[in-house]
Amino acid sequence: MGKGIVTREAVLRLLVASGVAVTIVTEALGALYLLRRGTLLAVWVALGAGAVLVFRERLSFRIPRFSALDAVLLAGVAAILVLVAFTAIESPPNSADAMAYHMPRVVYWEQAASVSFFPTLYFNQIMLPPLAEYMMLHTYVLSGGDRWINLVQWLGFAGSVLAVSLIAQALGAGARGQVIAAVFCATIPNGILQASGAKNECLLSLWLAAMVYFALRFSIVEMGLSLGLALMTKGTAYLFAPAMLIAIFLPVLRQERNSLLRAAPVVVLCVLTLNGPQYWRNFVFSGSVLGYDSAHGDGFFRWRNEPLGLRPTVSNLLRNLAVHLGARSPAWNQGVYDFVARVHRRLGIDLNDPGTTWRWDTFRPPVNSNHEADAPNRWQLLLLGAAAFLLPRGPRRWLWYYLGIVLAFGLFCFYLKWMPWMARLHLPLFVLASPIAGLLAENVLPVLPQAALCLLLLNNSRPYVLENWTRPLKGPRSVLRTARNNNYFSDMTPWNNQATYLKTVDLVRRSGCRDIGIDIRYFALEYPLQVLLRQAVPGARFIHTGVHNASSRYHPDPAMEPCAVVCLDCAWHDETIALYRGLGESETVDRFALFLRRAKQ
């Protein structure tokens, strides 16, 4: 690292520091109910000014020299990042998960100026790790809307590309291997699709990659902070991070035992500093620092295998690998399914065992999808499979690193049930595996095959960059041609209820009501209602109604009494409608039920 030069490692450290700052600022201001635009703006101006004063004398920029081939490959990576960033800005958040919990929690935090828990029928809105949404919250409050929300995932995607090149360097790759690792990461189909949306796997990938890099460098504080940020972002970090740390530190345990023992309290302190407030809120709420093991706290949609064991793990290994083999050929996809089913029969395992399969779903043939939930990473998987046999003999660190990824995948399959959207949850593993691809190509392939491989990956990325099914840049449904408000419903086509939302919003607007209750017991996708009502009724506030579970103890504003209640998909549930009939006038809007409080005489 050249003195005074902005290096990749310095950028990665800055990203980690920014994640830490977001976490601490959010928790501190939230505890004081000061998460307001003026306060946040003042804090970030102060932090930015402080950073400039500290580093202005120390840093300068230098454009590194690349070979012609490396420059072409990095130009391809840059093109992907620019186009995905443009998509992220032009499209509103619109994945189903974002409509159900990523964005609603942002709205409730914003109106309360705090990240305290609130009453809800969908516990994912309060108990799941919140860092991605903390970052979204800052953009939402500062900009007054959701224009920049998707850039949180894009930042994770771009940061991951940088981080894997550093990991490749730490594992011994030369310049070409580092560039190929970056290309491999930037062309992961599922990563491209997610990077323009409002989920959290891209951000998790960044923190895990940072953790791995700093662990390889034995930078303990940065490693501990990166681990804390990963755990603060998504629950799968509890499966992936330990496996990678074991793979990095087990080979040196004998030589570095004392150093590792001294490092352990530092790492624990970093994790607790960042996660402690959410751990405490969850413990008070559920008795567990991680919250309930199902979205409604009743165990009905439980995420973990029941029971845990070898046979469920083998079943999930097969099914989770299969989802990434989807191709254009229906015959191929059916063949993959038939093979997995045949192996299950020979092993005496139920292919759709309810103890290892998401409730109400069944394993099905893989698909060739451009959707962020289930898009396969076929070429990346095949390359990583080849790496197991083709990686040259060399430093044992390579082998241990590869085994760490295998162990992380094994823990994932051991613990979590198979679900139709598993492909997106695997993204951090593909990101972490990118340096292996760089090492393999650099050490095994001549220059021309290296170029051909990278051009294949870059060319394969085109449909995912341009034809994202929910946020396309190309075609009649392009985000450049369609209204932003219509695009909130791009991932909600199975329900075909956009007109229902619009009519409901219009009725509430005409009523003059600003304090709106929302009942989500039958349908949790409430954000389109919130964002459209905020446009139609500036200053609209929301509260969940009909809540009689463990979260009912929380109330954001005791003085808030809704003058309208929207019950999503309640129209034919008489027992639920009876709860609100005394409120006043009622109207059925397709599947929604709207209740308006009678004006006081």
Q: Which residues pair with 418 in a beta bridge?
A: 357
Task: Assess if residue 510 is contained within a domain.
Answer: yes
First-to-last alpha carbon distance for the chain, in angstroms, is 75
Sequence-ordered list of residues with C-beta below 8 angstroms from that of 88, at least 6 positions apart, any chain: 150, 151, 153, 154, 195, 196, 197
The two three-digit tokens of residue 495, written as one number = 């329900």
The last residue of one of the domains, among 64, 82, 110, is 64
The last residue of one of the domains, among 37, 64, 91, is 64
* pTM of the model as a whole: 0.96
The two three-digit tokens of residue 368, written as one number = 């060739």
The two three-digit tokens of residue 399, written as one number = 């082998």
Report the alpha-carbon distance of residue 267 to residue 263 in Å, rounded.
6
Task: Assess if residue 50 is contained within a domain.
Answer: yes
Residue 446 burial class via C-beta count within 10 angstroms: exposed 0-12, middle 13-18, buried 19 and up: exposed
Cα 40 to Cα 113, 144, 269: the distances in Å are: 11, 12, 26
Report the alpha-carbon distance of residue 76 to residue 82 in Å, rounded.
10
Q: What is the pLDDT of residue 601?
A: 39
The two three-digit tokens of residue 381, written as one number = 């998987």
Task: Assess if residue 39 is contained within a domain.
Answer: yes
The two three-digit tokens of residue 192, written as one number = 């491209």
The amino acid present at 130, given as its one-letter code, is: P
Kindly list the averaged pLDDT for each block of 10 residues, start to end, along the chain of length 601.
64 96 98 97 94 70 79 97 98 97 98 96 98 98 97 98 97 95 98 98 98 97 98 98 97 92 97 98 97 94 94 98 96 98 97 96 95 96 89 74 97 97 97 96 94 97 97 96 97 96 97 96 97 96 95 82 95 90 89 82 39
Classified as helix, coil or strand, 274 is: helix
Task: Assess if residue 296 is contained within a domain.
Answer: no
Q: What is the pLDDT of residue 3?
A: 43
Q: What is the pLDDT of residue 199?
A: 97
Task: Assess if residue 448 is contained within a domain.
Answer: no
Q: What is the pLDDT of residue 57?
A: 58
Task: Assess if residue 572 is contained within a domain.
Answer: yes
Report the alpha-carbon distance of residue 7 to residue 215 in Å, rounded.
18
* Residue-level length of the chain: 601
Torsion of CA 492, 498, 500, 503, to 10 degrees: 150
Task: Assess if residue 360 is contained within a domain.
Answer: no
Q: What is the pLDDT of residue 537?
A: 96
Total number of domains constituting the chain: 2
Do 295 and 551 contact (CB within 8 A), yes or no? no
Task: Assess if residue 43 is contained within a domain.
Answer: yes
Q: Where are the alpha helices (DSSP H) in 56-188?
A: 68-90, 96-97, 103-112, 124-127, 131-143, 151-170, 175-186
User: Structural domain of residue 38, as residue ranges?
Assistant: 1-64
The last residue of one of the domains, among 44, 64, 84, is 64
Report the alpha-carbon distance of residue 80 to residue 161 in Å, rounded.
11
H or E element, residue 597: strand 592-597
